[in-house]
Every structure is written in C-alpha cells, then in structure tokens.
Amino acid sequence: MGEMKVLGRHIIAEMYGCDSCLLSDLDKAIAVLREAVEVSGATYLGEFHKRFEPWGGVTVIIALAESHISLHTWPEYGYAALDIFTCGEKADPWKAYEHVVRSFRPEKVNVTEMVRGLIRMEKLQEMR
C-alpha cells in the first residue's frame, strides 16, 4: 500500500457544563486561545473576536500559519465549541486542546480528531 502522509489534524471538541461566567468573558477567551497557540507551537497570524447579546456568548477565531483555532460559547447552556486545525509537523493541536480544557474546566467533553489530507507518498511524489 505504501507510506502514507497526514497533511493535517483537526480536533473538534464540545465542552459541556462550563461556568457561564467564564464562557461570557471575552478577554479570558482571547487570552486562553492565545496561550493555546503558544503552547501548541503554532504560528500566530491574526484574530477576530466578538461578544453576542443578549446572552453574552463569545466567538474567538485565531488564524495560524498552520490553519486556525476557534472557540464559540453559549453561556446560557454552559456549552462551548472548540475547533483546532493544524497542518505540518511543527504544531501539536492536542497541547492547545489540553490548555483550553484546563482553562474552561468543563464537566464533560466530547472530542474527535479528524485526519486531514491522508495521501500516499507515491502520489505526492508523482504530483511534484
């Protein structure tokens, strides 16, 4: 079958039972995601963030050279959706994930990792 190469890893996490005060704190969410970028070894490019009314949910999206990390919160439900996609060998999305989960302290997490761009090395060499 030949050697396979993974181009990226995509972690999708649903965090339940988070403190609603944490989930509505935009400054905290920004700081946590910036720290997650740093601990993962990813390269920060820029960010977007917004607070939503009336419930105070927040969205933080950080663009990475390796792809992105994003957090969307629903304080009224104690729920947050975390998305971390990195490509290449440098960044470790699981380190970012662990940092975010430690910071938001959910009661329950459902997490899935999707391998992105699984290709045969022979095919990659043919394309070059």
Please, what sign has the CA dihedral across residues 33, 35, 38, 44?
positive
- The catalytic residue positions are 67, 72, 87
Q: Are the CB atoms for 25 and 41 separated by under 8 Å?
A: no
Residue-range domains of the chain with CATH: 4-127 (3.60.90.10)
pLDDT digits (tens, 9 = 90+) for 57-83: 999 999 999 999 999 999 999 999 999
pLDDT digits (tens, 9 = 90+) for 16-36: 999 999 999 999 999 999 999
Residue for token digits 């990475």?
Answer: 64
Q: Identify the pLDDT of residue 5.
A: 79
Tell me the C-alpha distance between 28 and 2, whole Å.
46
Residue range 29-49: mean pLDDT, rounded: 98
Total-model pTM: 0.88
Tell me the C-alpha distance between 75 and 37, whole Å.
23
